[in-house]
Amino acid sequence: MRRTKIVEVLKSEETGKEFLVKGWVRTRRGNKQVNFIAMNDGSTIHNLQIVADVEKFGEELMRRINTGASLAVVGELNQSQGTGQNVELLAKKIEVIGDCDVNEYPLQPKKHSLEFLREKAHLRFRTNTFSAIARVRHAMIFAVHSFFSSKGFVNIHTPIITSSDAEGAGEMFQVTTLNLDNIPKNDDGAIDFSKDFFGRPTNLTVSGQLEGELAAMGLADIYTFGPTFRAENSNTTRHLAEFWMIEPEMAFYDLNDNMDLAEEFLKFLIRYALDNCADDLNFLSNRLKEEEKNKKADEKSMELIEKLKFVLEDDFVRLTYTEAIEILRNSKPNKKGQFKYPIEGYGADLQSEHERYLVERHFKKPVILTDYPKEIKAFYMKLNEENKTVRAMDVLFPQIGEIIGGSQREENYDKLVARMEEMDIPVEEMWWYLETRKFGTVPHSGFGLGFERLMLFVTGMGNIRDVIPFPRTPKNAEF
Ligand code: 4AD
Ligand code: MG
């Protein structure tokens, strides 16, 4: 007999038919005659109820059916008498595959805090919350590929080990095979990287963009979707040291085309989640409602499904950084009329409280900010005519702040070299990048969507550590 996934059993209308299911016990309850086992196999948020005749299977076997134990059950599909489910399995055969000692098993049949579950990350896939998030994450990965594939974009795998710093921010993890106890040095005392594996300093990539640009200069429309690494020591609920990024790069696109694509892309992903993850999103929405109960009225956030639909309703607002600064300067975010980080004036980078103010309270819509001062953006962004701002765009979302960062790229060889020199980017080492501007250069643009920021938004979770299976954050890389 072949195993049927619980999601399929629950959908089946063939009462009287026998099914074989395998999974893990969530709970067992009942009396001396009959026991009800809630079983889950990860295929759905819903448990399958197994009805077991105690006399038939014996009390000894029943006592082994503990929370966490794994089972194989053959049973007959019945209309369920109980509330909460339409069908159940009347057990014919039960086999305990793996026992589970409840005195040792950390997961109890009750709600655990997210902090506790982060400590038990090796087991949290067995909980409703984390299995729901994992399924939504999978659906979003699929939707990303589906969106770009339907538009004729080519997926490019960019290298994880590189020798360049794409963002020029110096937040890289070094990669080396040198023996740290005995580092080879040159006569002048500098590290002799000729002895290292690649014969030069290397690091984990912070972004696939530069290589993505190379590909776009031949394939026109490409996207990357890979892990990226940032050694920024920011212990926030929105930063990871290892996160996944989707970076489309398009030849012949200007900043407006870039914004259009970003908006269409985000709306597609959210629509996809609503259409394909209804059960999991409803579960996550209810979970959020429970959490919100303890919050003060002015701290409550929007209901999850409502919030997702809200993004689909209108066009995103588009305005320049300079306009945003004006709005923020004239705003009264709280009774005292102050932000925690005051708006220093033109030239300052925006904090997430400023970004969220614009989105959640001023416009009440997602916002795309453009034309940032060149000083606070990366070297590759195209300079505007006035020579002060660059054709950057950040997409700001409720609850999240920056979800996408992107720009039109500088396609002019001389301007790009000048900008790199100004910003101390090693021009000679990046000859390969610059050559695209020498041989048939074209206007082009791209952006990066932080996949876990998207996941935070779609699931309504509050901490980025809970939307990636194995979060890497400062002092956290045990397994
Ligand atoms: O704004 P960023 O740094 O832009 C780039 O890396 C460009 N190369 C993208 C491009 O134009 N191709 O990062 C892009 C996005 C951010 O908007 C944010 O969503 C996410 O990546 N991100 C992070 N997510 C989690 N943890 C971190 N430490 C992140 N840093 C950036
Ligand atoms: Mg950014």
One domain for residues 364 and 250: yes
Question: Which atom of ligand 1 is closest in space to residue 394's alpha carbon?
Answer: 17
Mutate which of 167, 453, 456, 463 for ligand 1? The one with the most ligand atoms within 8 Å of its CB, which is: 453
Question: Which atom of ligand 1 is closest in space to residue 454's alpha carbon?
Answer: 19
Question: Which atom of ligand 1 is closest in space to residue 402's alpha carbon?
Answer: 17
Q: Is residue 190 part of a domain?
A: no
Q: Which residues surround ligand 2, an ion (CB under 5 A)?
A: 405
Q: Which pLDDT value is given to residue 478?
A: 86
Q: Is the dihedral of CA 52, 53, 56, 60 positive or negative?
A: positive
* Burial of 290 per CB tally in 10 Å (0-12, 13-18, 19+): exposed
Please give the average per-residue pLDDT across 443-463, as a whole number.
98
One domain for residues 149 and 31: no
| Ligand with minimal distance to 245 CA | 1
> For 342-351, what is each residue's pLDDT tens digit?
887 778 889 9
User: What torsion do the CA atoms of 149, 146, 400, 275 make, to the nearest 10 degrees?
Assistant: 150
| pTM attached to this predicted model | 0.96
Q: Which two tokens stand for residue 305?
A: 């499904």
Q: Which pLDDT value is given to residue 187?
A: 94
Q: Which two tokens stand for residue 408?
A: 């039109």
Question: Which atom of ligand 1 is closest in space to residue 448's alpha carbon?
Answer: 9
Question: Which atom of ligand 1 is closest in space to residue 240's alpha carbon?
Answer: 26
One domain for residues 421 and 295: yes
Q: Is residue 474 part of a domain?
A: no
User: Which residue's CA is the nearest one to ligand 1's atom 5?
Assistant: 448
Q: Which of 125, 232, 117, 135 is nearest to 463 (CA)?
A: 117
One domain for residues 381 and 276: yes
For residue 349, the enclosing domain spans: 126-171+206-466
Q: Is residue 437 part of a domain?
A: yes
Give the residue carrying structure tokens 């020498």.
438
> For 454-476, what is each residue's pLDDT tens digit?
999 999 999 999 999 999 999 99
One domain for residues 104 and 141: no
Q: What is the rounded average pLDDT for all residues in the chain?
A: 95
Question: Residue 299 — pLDDT band, cuts 50, 70, 90?
Answer: confident
One domain for residues 276 and 322: yes
User: Which residue's CA is the nearest one to ligand 1's atom 7?
Assistant: 448
Q: Which two tokens stand for residue 100?
A: 């589970």
ipTM over 0.90: yes
Mutate which of 243, 255, 458 for ligand 1? The one with the most ligand atoms within 8 Å of its CB, which is: 243
One domain for residues 131 and 102: no
One domain for residues 156 and 69: no
Choose one of 58, 74, 109: the last residue of a domain.
Answer: 109
Q: Is residue 189 part of a domain?
A: no
> For 187-235, what is each residue's pLDDT tens digit?
999 999 999 999 999 999 999 999 999 999 999 999 999 999 999 988 9
Q: Is residue 217 part of a domain?
A: yes
One domain for residues 269 and 408: yes
Q: How far is the CA of 405 from the centre of ligand 1 (A)?
A: 6
Q: Which pLDDT value is given to residue 316?
A: 98
One domain for residues 133 and 14: no
- Specify the CATH number for the domain of residue 92: 2.40.50.140
Q: Which pLDDT value is given to residue 349?
A: 86
- Specify the CATH number for the domain of residue 391: 3.30.930.10
Q: Is residue 121 part of a domain?
A: no
Choose one of 74, 109, 144: the last residue of a domain.
Answer: 109
Q: Is residue 472 part of a domain?
A: no
User: Which residue's CA is the nearest one to ligand 1's atom 29?
Assistant: 239
Q: Is residue 183 part of a domain?
A: no
Q: How far is the CA of 107 from the centre of ligand 1 (A)?
A: 35
One domain for residues 157 and 54: no
Task: Please count the structural domains in the chain.
Answer: 2
Query: How many whole angstroms separate alpha carbon 100 and alpha carbon 58?
Result: 18
Q: Which long-range contacts (CB under 8 A, 24 or more apart) does 437-442 make?
A: 437/410, 437/411, 437/412, 437/413, 438/413, 440/217, 441/411, 441/412, 441/413, 442/217, 442/251, 442/252, 442/411
One domain for residues 104 and 234: no
